[in-house]
Structure 1
Amino acid sequence: MAQPTGAALRTLAIEYKGIQEEPVEGFRVRLVNDDNLCEWEVAIFGPPDTLYQGGYFKAHVKFPPDYPYSPPTVRFLTKVWHPNVYENGDLCISILHPPVDDPQSGELPCERWNPTQTVRTILLSVISLLNEPNTFSPANVDASVMYRRWRDSKGKDKEYEKIIRKQVASSRLEAEKDGVIVPMTREDYCVKTKAPAGNALGSGVTAIVQLHG
């Protein structure tokens, strides 16, 4: 596996430090291993006033060796029934697609990845996608059909909602195991959540960045 460039490590170190100092509301971000800047664990809290309220969804974000010129990948570890999440947990979202011209995709080049994007913009896009799935090119066709029925019936068709509620309840058990208090109100949700102190930018990572400097 190719080693990350020094530029990639420096960029990731800056982004990680920035998110620790100024977290994105509704998320908790930390490194999977303190000596590896290229793999992050993200905990996503379900936004209030949505089907996902009270949910605790964990995902891994993996960065390529030439980041930010190529996009990272996002894979949910927690089961998420969603039109834009594959069965294996991979997230399908335009912002993470390579910047190639593919007329068949239905996506504009400006909707795809470009080096000005950051982890912060990715996280905000994920929250937006949870609330408003893209059903035009779904990763999970069955979930997309159920979502459209739920949306078009204005909530009268409960099949989609029941699955989400069940997954939210299951995710809360995982939060209890992790010792995480899931925000339930809008006020609590808007409190910016920092990673535990032990997952700050560790000396091992600092040494890696310096080595590639």
Structure 2
Amino acid sequence: MLFFLFQAHIKFPMDYPYSPPTFRFLTKMWHPNIYENGDVCISILHPPVDDPQSGELPSERWNPTQNVRTILLSVISLLNEPNTFSPANVDASVMKQVQATKAEAEKDGVKVPTTLAEYCIKTKVPSNDNSSDLLYDDLYDDDIDDEDEEEEEDADCYDDDDSGNEES
């Protein structure tokens, strides 16, 4: 069994239990719901005010029935299941979402490239003159010049006046 030890600081306000305590990790954390300074962003530690901008229901916020046990259970739950849709650390949230997407893709048998070499797969392209197949690192490099020329030709087909009036 694997155990982790995280140091934290809980500070109770003078009007506790009517106002929530603050919870800050002293141990450095990289987590979607923990700010760089260690402050935890969790609904039950938010004051019981109506804030429609937060996206939190009033029932999810602090109330006087909460206690140290419920706070610790909520923090442990948050560590196990981050809320990536309301991040305190956006970079950590994006990383978590990418990892989850990669895991889902692998379940479906899709290998997600993670290095430049994996993205640049060499592909065999048959040639028209029945000679041996050629390897191309990037098939699109040869096509770019042709596409630019086609766009220029297409641009000549349209009038500069696109007002819809036939008369100019």
Q: Same fold (TM over 0.5)?
A: yes
State the alpha-carbon separation in 2 of the partners of residues 109 and 95 from structure 1. 10
Greater C-alpha Rg: 2
Unmatched segments (≥5 aa) in structure 2: 107-111, 115-168
Deviations 1:96-133 (A, max 9, x none): 00001111101000000000001100000011101111
Unmatched segments (≥5 aa) in structure 1: 1-47, 160-213
Counting strand residues as a fraction of each chain, which structure ranks higher?
A: 1
Pairwise CA RMSD: 1.8
- Name the amino acid aligned to 2:36: E
- 1:68 CA drift (Å): 0.2
- 1:64 CA drift (Å): 0.2
Cross-structure match for 1:112: 61
Cross-structure match for 2:15: 66
- Name the amino acid aligned to 1:120: R
Matched, 1:100 2:49: yes
Cross-structure match for 2:146: none
- 1:152 CA drift (Å): 1.7
State the alpha-carbon separation in 1 of the partners of residues 25 and 79 from structure 2. 13
Matched, 1:78 2:17: no
Taking structure 2 as the reference length, the TM-score comes to 0.60
- Equivalent position SS for 1:56: coil
Taking structure 1 as the reference length, the TM-score comes to 0.48
- 1:54 CA drift (Å): 2.7
Moved over 6 A (4+): none
- 1:136 CA drift (Å): 1.4
Matched, 1:138 2:138: no
Cross-structure match for 2:166: none
State the alpha-carbon separation in 1 of the partners of residues 39 and 73 from structure 2. 17
- Equivalent position SS for 1:90: coil
- Name the amino acid aligned to 1:148: Q
Q: Give the 5 Å matches for 1:7-86.
A: 53-86=2-35
